[in-house]
Amino acid sequence: MISRADVENTAKLSRLEFSKEELDQIQVDMNSVISYMEILNKVNTSKVGDLVREIGEMREDEICPSVDPEELLKNAPKKEGTAFVVPKVID
């Protein structure tokens, strides 16, 4: 079960803000997703082997041209020179 606190915490971690009504609806939706997954959990898979096939590929360490900074920053709401500008953050 997804509690109201779970929903609020997830929203906070995602830096998203919701109205009370939205939070109500999200809690219902999340619980329905979880209960749908519960159906799959009921299937007996004790005789089914590992489905993960380890086929990860790696690339060689060779340089390819990077993207032109002008192009890269084209959609940035704010920039200074070739740097992205964001509101001040301090840790």
List contacts with another protein (CB under 8 A): 9, 13-15, 52, 54-64, 66-67, 69, 72-73, 78, 80-91
Min separation Cβ 83 and another protein, Å = 4
- Calculate the dihedral angle through the C-alpha atoms of 8, 10, 12, 18, rounding to the nearest 10 degrees: -60
Q: Which residue from 23, 15, 21 is spatially nearest to 89, judged by alpha carbons?
A: 15
Report the DSSP beta bridge partners of residue 70.
Answer: none
- Write down the least CB distance from residue 19 to another protein, Å: 21
**Cβ closest to another protein, residue 47 vs residue 86:** 86
